[in-house]
Amino acid sequence: NYRKGLLLSVAASYYIYLPLPSTITEPWKLMLLDAVFRCMMHGNLIQDLGLCHHVRVLNFVVSVLELRGPRSSEFVRVTDTSFSGVPARVFESIAPGPERLKRGVIYFHGGGWALGSGRMRSYDLLCRKMAEELDAVIISVDYKLAPDAHFPEQYDDALSACRHILKAEVLASLSMDPERVAVSGDSAGGNLAAAVTQQLAVDTSVSVRLKAQALVYPVLQALDFNTPSYQQNSDVPILYRPLMARFWLEYLSGDLSLVPYLLANNHTALDQSQEAEEAWAKVNWTRLLAPTFHKHYKPVVPRQGTPRLLEQLPGLLDVRAAPLLAEGGVLEKVPPAYILTCEHDVLRDDGLMYAQRLEEAGVAVTSDHYEEGFHGCMVFAFWPVCFSVGKRSLRNYISWLEQNL
């Protein structure tokens, strides 16, 4: 029994251990979290056997372990509803005194456009905290997910819900101040928040204008999978470089066999279309990133690419899917932005490049960068998976909203 226990301990340690950058302050905690995620990703075996799509397996596990009902508290009233047919959970602060108009935040959860829900424990706790500390109304939108929905359905849900919420009568019914409404989201939710913000900024049919946008480690482009942060953090949990490519292909309804071609930047090779060349200029990290983030990395631009790859995946060049590709004339119309980035995240440079492009367009930007941060850290600010960088980033995120909304 002792030998069996020893072997199991060694095997578990071998599975859990990963060499991590020295600036990550709680490495074993991140290793354990990553091991749990990797176990969940073994749903791929079920898909390989033809039994069920692996994403459905993951979402089933999430629904069993993480989903919570709409439980109100002494300080926050919580209700499940829908806006223009899109499900959402509403968190309304309860404060003593006469009824008054409150700040409002429309929030989109992360999960690669395929996983998660605003009803998950982590997002439920996040939105409760935001509602209470900001004395605000937080609306967490549950857009459709892959593989049952693909681009532009997630974007359409997000935009439709926002347009409905921004109607004067809806804002009044929720006691939301029409002059203090923001859009926010993390990861893929940050992508939707940025894309919706751009569209609402140029949509003359919407009379209420957003006051702010808060993007948390957003994914904003899929033209370059070899930015310095993609190269540096390829093997850093919890968002590995190949996994991000898979999420993009799921979102854009592409064949997962194309992952190696995306990772090689074959879709933006020198022999690709003029449109791709023009788009590449908007993700040119050698110009958009500060030299300190270049480090020793070099651009990856193959001479020859994979024929018809962009024809198979037109969403790669669509600003609704890749907000970093927006024209300057659109960017100059969007509201002030808060962009949170993490050093140990493949998406770091997406956020940093977008901050630079917004600043060049004359938009006020607050860049909040965490040297010890990793992808997803802000939602890991609550027991039992609680990181110090998660608590600190969440505190600063809420503080920015308090000061700018």
Joined together, the tokens standing for residue 115 give 């996983």
Give the whole-angstrom CA distance, residue 250 versus residue 239: 15
Joined together, the tokens standing for residue 37 give 């995620």
Give the whole-angstrom CA distance, residue 253 versus residue 25: 38
Nearest one of 192, 179, 200 to 102, comparing CA atoms: 179
Nearest one of 243, 355, 375 to 290, comparing CA atoms: 355
CA dist list (Å): 10 to 6, 14, 102: 6, 6, 54
Q: Which one from 93, 122, 140, 187 is the annotated catalytic residue?
A: 187
Nearest one of 253, 252, 220 to 346, comparing CA atoms: 220
Kindly report the backbone phi and psi dihedral angles of residue 369, in degrees, each rounded to the nearest multiple of 5, phi listed first: -105, 135
Per the annotation, the verdict on 375 as an active-site residue is yes
Q: Which one from 224, 345, 350, 368 is the annotated catalytic residue?
A: 345
Per the CB < 8 A criterion, the answer to whether 218 and 345 are in contact is no
Kindly report the backbone phi and psi dihedral angles of residue 183, in degrees, each rounded to the nearest multiple of 5, phi listed first: -115, 140
Instruction: Measure CA 361 to chain center.
Output: 23
- Supply the residues annotated as catalytic: 187, 345, 375
